[in-house]
Chains A and B, each alone.
Chain A
Amino acid sequence: MSSDVFDVAVIGGGLHGLSAALQLSRAGKRVVVLERAWVGRHASGASAAGVRTLNRDMGELDLALESMEMWHNIGLLVGDDCGFNAHGQICVAEHPDSLSKLEERVSRLRGLGYTHEAIIDARELRRRVPAISPHCIGASIAPDNGAADPHRTLAAFRRSAQAAGVVIREGCDVRRIEQRGQDWSIEMDSAAVTDSALSGSQAHDRAPSSTLVVPFVVNAAGAWSGRIAAMVGDDIPLDTKASMMIVSERLAPMIEPVVSIMGRSLSFKQSDQGTLVIGGGLQGIPDLDAETSAVRMGVLSKGARAATDLFPCVRDIRIVRVWSGLEAKTEDMLPVVGAAVNAPGVFHAFGYSGHGFQLVPVVGAALTDLIVSGSTRRAIGALNAQRLMATPSAEVAA
């Protein structure tokens, strides 16, 4: 570290924080990432890493479509393919009424000029996914979608951010943010990061706090973003997700696309390592203060049931690991991306509500636009913070 002078402090060392830091640094800004634990500790490290535009909400669809193009050239951004395979994402219909819901969506999209989703019949579904149960009658598909390897993606973003000059401070807990003229003063504790339930005093030796003054702040603090936003005067109600995942033992290749089911909680895919990765948003128990979450096997059994209904051949496959990760959820399940309402120079990027991985490249680019040139052409209009704030204090003041 040659200097402690930075233009931007990114709070949160998850993928969104790293992506913003990387692209800001390439645009000439001096950037520091402040991470309380370590890079990828929560949602980014616990992600299923789906790269999906299929069934995206209209509020973030244009942004997701641009991000998809970036994913297809992800090597240009981070010098690594991040384990991204575009084998398609498929949403399966088990019943005629769920198939007609999928058909309605695809025709509505067509009417608006979008061509990324299509309907396939039972025969085409079986051709693409031979292991699927015969009771499935059709599906919608986004052929250029797929999935990446979350840990490889984290490593690539971390490596390229550091290569671009980003300083990453792990074990750095933001305690307070105050306005100081045009700048923001950030007070931090450095917490010794330890890994487990060791008792005694060694668990959290706190070093003296330190302060950093920067003109720009990016709030990419994931599940804790609401607390950071409140420090700068934005009261944004946020809920917490603790989505659970199942990983199986390794098996021979059996499926290429990522498969979900209309109307049930399931996302099913096979990783490059051969393991089955089963998610779909079933919820564990979050604990923001303890910075952890707990799985609930009783709830997760619904995911196992959905998986074995769809793929009867995996009944005897062994589960190796189950976990949950923490992230923020908004009321309308859309993220907050853009300028803070009450804090000039602060920008939010959080609340992805279970589907933020795919947006990583494009949101970093949008934040870079906002900080470097003051505006962006990227489609973040529907993602402003005001929509979630009951009585925006800007109006109260006016």
Chain B
Amino acid sequence: MSRAVDLLIIGAGPAGMSAALRARGLGLSVLVVDDQPAPGGQIWRAVETRAGTRTGKLLGDEYAAGLPLAQAFRASGAVYEPGTQVWQIEPGWQVYMSRAQQAECVQVANVLLATGAQERPAPFPGWTLPGVLTVGAAQILLKTAREIPQDPPWIAGSGPLALLYMVQLLRAGGTIAGWLDTSPADGWRRALPHAASARHAWKDILKGLSWTRELRRAGFPIVRGVTQLRAQGGQRLEHLVYQTADGQSQRVAAALLLIHEGVVPSIHMTQALGCEHVWSVNQHCLTPTLDEWSQTSKPGIFLAGDGAGIGGARAACTRGELAALGIAMRAGKLQDDAARHLAEPLRRRLATELSIRPMLDALYPPRAELFAPPDDTMVCRCEELTAGQIRAAARIGQPGPNQIKAFTRAGMGPCQGRQCGYTVAHILAAAHGKPVEEIGFYRIRPPLKPLTLGELASLDSASNTGSDAP
């Protein structure tokens, strides 16, 4: 509480590090806290120790690009506290966090949320069986421990990350059982109208095409237009069942399935803060409403990176810098004119960096099945509720997500609805015959990160808390 800083940044990924650098350059005092033990976020996880190794090489240029930024961030003069979990933000802004089981409250005028994205929850029958993991989780193991799955994995789903992981896995010496591509057919026809605006990103497009060639050369089965995916097994995954584009049902033996259906902004904190959100039609998710300086509808709460809408690492860096300008202005360290002047090249760069997005969004839309899973699909993992149970509860009146929560306990478990929030919203939208953007979302309750009773109690003994009951 006694710590006075101009800016608290939550997250030390591309956006958080870039914002810290820029803010330090503008003379702000900065505290950066992050869950992880080292800077880099998800994309550049462990980049300081891995970039120079063989693992780093096979992860490619995009990965290595994080190293200079991490080094500059370390030297920036920002106070950096890794291994810290922020579990509550209250008006004022009082930011509650824990590090090594000790809780602390920091009061600060400006907060930058740089908490990134999460993989889109992809419920399908059998997705909770042991042996079914996400591509994102497997990639973390590859980055931090160069871990190659023992059993050649089946990869299913859609999106650039799935392609990238497969390429990285092959380069690391791994093998792949098969690729079940669930992207809806006619992707290029959908993407073509956006090709002109994506021309600035021709390097990325070429890279994507080269990945596709590399995967084809590897010779594992590639099945396009997969639907009705099911994972089956007794104690763990044994088989995959799916339908091919020509309507044939297939069944293959499988020990490991890695699934990926794209990424969505992590909106837990902005929802808990009561920030305004809008429904992104292109990315099929909620995104917080931001002003031109990346400020949310709550004055003093800023947002940068993929949490503002999926844009990738380079766009995240630029958004971080833009937010830093806005914060410096709000902190009185930068005049409006100067900020606008500094922002101009950044805005141009951002437009270029985001130019490929409409095309990618059109190429890899989430398949409709994800939002209308069969009745026997587990939807809320924490409370073990199926889509059928949610549909049954949806018939009591015209409930919204928070009534469904009360009726069924969906979203009340430790993940706080991170896994089931969108699925429940879509099921309700279908049941009530409304567009999903009118359904709303769970009210998110603190703590935003795991917190023990002992940690919360430690805050009381530290007697650095707000005043007593009114």
User: Do A and B belong to a common assembly?
Assistant: yes
Residues of A within 8 A of B (CB): 38-40, 45, 151, 154-155, 168, 170, 193-200, 202, 246-249, 273, 278, 282-283, 294-302, 304-305, 307-308, 314-323
Closest 8 CB pairs of A and B: A195-B440, A298-B465, A315-B454, A304-B456, A195-B400, A301-B460, A199-B276, A301-B459
Which residue of A278, A299, A318 is within 8 Å of B414 (Cβ)?
A318
Verify B440–A194 contact, CB threshold 8 A: yes
**Does B466 interact with chain A (Cβ within 8 Å)?**
yes
State the CA gap A194–B435 with chains docked (Å): 13
B338 contact set on A, CB distance < 8 A: none
B278 contact set on A, CB distance < 8 A: 198-200
Verify B460–A295 contact, CB threshold 8 A: no
Which residue of B276, B443, B459, B468 is within 8 Å of A297 (Cβ)?
B459
Given A38-B399, A151-B407, A196:B453 Cβ within 8 A: no
Q: Which of A38, A198, A323 has the most CB of B within 10 A?
A: A198
**Does B457 interact with chain A (Cβ within 8 Å)?**
yes
State the CA gap A38–B451 with chains docked (Å): 31
Which residue of A154, A168, A196, A307 is within 8 Å of B271 (Cβ)?
A196
B225 contact set on A, CB distance < 8 A: none
State the CA gap A299–B437 with chains docked (Å): 36
Chain B residue with the shortest CB-CB distance to A311 = B453
**Does B447 interact with chain A (Cβ within 8 Å)?**
yes
Distance in Å: Cβ of A110 to nearest Cβ of chain B: 33
Verify B452–A298 contact, CB threshold 8 A: no
**Does B127 interact with chain A (Cβ within 8 Å)?**
no
State the CA gap A241–B26 with chains docked (Å): 45
State the CA gap A195–B405 with chains docked (Å): 12
State the CA gap A316–B451 with chains docked (Å): 9
Given A301-B459, A316-B452, A323-B445, A195:B406 Cβ within 8 A: no
Verify A195–B443 contact, CB threshold 8 A: yes
Verify B402–A319 contact, CB threshold 8 A: no
Verify A319–B406 contact, CB threshold 8 A: no
A320 contact set on B, CB distance < 8 A: 412-414, 416
B416 contact set on A, CB distance < 8 A: 320-321
Could you jot down 30 A-B contacts, CB within 8 Å?
Answer: A40-B406, A155-B407, A170-B398, A194-B400, A195-B440, A195-B443, A197-B271, A197-B297, A199-B276, A199-B277, A199-B278, A200-B278, A202-B438, A246-B456, A248-B453, A295-B88, A295-B445, A297-B87, A298-B459, A299-B465, A301-B459, A305-B456, A307-B453, A308-B453, A318-B414, A318-B450, A318-B451, A319-B450, A319-B456, A321-B445
Verify B457–A307 contact, CB threshold 8 A: yes
Verify A297–B446 contact, CB threshold 8 A: yes
Given A193-B400, A197-B271, A298-B465, A317:B453 Cβ within 8 A: yes
B279 contact set on A, CB distance < 8 A: 198
Q: Which of A273, A278, A300 has the most CB of B within 10 A?
A: A300
Chain B residue with the shortest CB-CB distance to A324 = B445
**Does B470 interact with chain A (Cβ within 8 Å)?**
yes
Distance in Å: Cβ of B97 to nearest Cβ of chain A: 11
B468 contact set on A, CB distance < 8 A: 299
Verify B445–A299 contact, CB threshold 8 A: no
Given A38-B397, A199-B278, A318:B440 Cβ within 8 A: no
Verify A315–B457 contact, CB threshold 8 A: yes
Distance in Å: Cβ of B429 to nearest Cβ of chain A: 12
Given A249-B414, A294-B91, A319:B460 Cβ within 8 A: no
Distance in Å: Cβ of B94 to nearest Cβ of chain A: 7
State the CA gap A232–B399 with chains docked (Å): 31
A200 contact set on B, CB distance < 8 A: 278
State the CA gap A301–B451 with chains docked (Å): 12
A278 contact set on B, CB distance < 8 A: 453
**Does B439 interact with chain A (Cβ within 8 Å)?**
yes
Given A195-B440, A301-B465, A319:B271 Cβ within 8 A: no
A151 contact set on B, CB distance < 8 A: 406-407, 409
Which residue of A40, A195, A199 is within 8 Å of B401 (Cβ)?
A195
